[in-house]
Amino acid sequence: MIRRAANAALDLLYPPRCAGCGKFDLPLCAHCADLLSEAAGQGRCPFCTAAWDGDGNCPRCFHLHELEGVRAAFEMAGTARNLVHALKYRYYRAVAPLMAAALPPLADDLGIDRYYPVPLHRSREKRRGFNQSALLLTLAGWQPAPGLRRVRKTERQVGQRLGERRANVAGAFEYDGPRLDGLTVALVDDVVTTGATVMECARSLQDAGARTVWALAFARASYSPQTDEPIDD
């Protein structure tokens, strides 16, 4: 509460600052916006949009069984990472409309029937003051669908390995909304790294009858699946 109050006071006293370089006047200056790297086209995995120069899908996709695919607007590096971290860790909500504006094109041809924000545990959402995934979903012009809940508080995943992330979120989500029989649904998040969280959410939605589950995110982290090192996104 003290941090949120201090941030609100600073917003009144000072103009916005660029989340990329710190320059005053705008939440994101034109120079930093030009440095965003799109997660689409040649050199990206056709299934999960991570960086990939090989044939077919990249090795990061091997465990994403419950998803129809992952679509992200930008590579989780440089300016995109600064924006994600500004919203998630510094509660700098001025960047949220900029991030949300990149989401609607990701779903243009998917025929999505329901959009679900990746839920936070109630204690973490209360401390932060908002769920960044729900905020981006709403600002993108979508109606958040009810029913998907995080029922177990999990550890922060920054610095965890893939296996640790999967164990951390196992059984952490439940769905208690209306049946989704035959529907195509989307999970919306700020960033997809290993996909462990959206995979657990997708299982709950499929148990409720969802035919197809997509993951849509502002950023995609292209971690190395060949190493067992901690992942910092």
pLDDT at 4: 59
> Nearest-CA neighbor of 185 among 157, 169, 166, 207?
207
- Can you tell me which residue has the tokens 């917003």? 11
pLDDT at 229: 58
pLDDT at 188: 98
pLDDT digit of tens for each residue in the chain (233 aa)? 565 565 555 555 567 899 999 999 899 999 999 999 999 889 999 999 999 999 999 988 888 999 999 999 999 999 999 999 999 999 999 999 999 999 999 999 999 999 999 999 888 888 889 999 999 999 999 999 999 999 887 767 776 777 778 787 888 899 999 999 999 999 999 999 999 999 999 999 999 999 999 999 999 999 887 666 556 76
How far, in Å, CA of 99 to CA of 80, rounded? 9
How far, in Å, CA of 86 to CA of 93, rounded? 8
Q: What share of the chain is helix, strand, coil (3-state, %, to 5)?
A: 35, 20, 50
Q: Does domain 37-220 have CATH number 3.40.50?
A: yes
How far, in Å, CA of 138 to CA of 132, rounded? 10
Which residue type occupies 179? Answer: R
> DSSP character for 119?
P
Check if the beta carbon of residue 5 is closer than 8 Å to that of residue 81. no
pTM of the predicted model, to two decimals? 0.90
Return the structure tokens found at 170: 């196992």
Q: Provide the Cα torsion 162, 164, 168, 171; round to 10°.
A: 70
Domain boundaries, the chain: 37-220
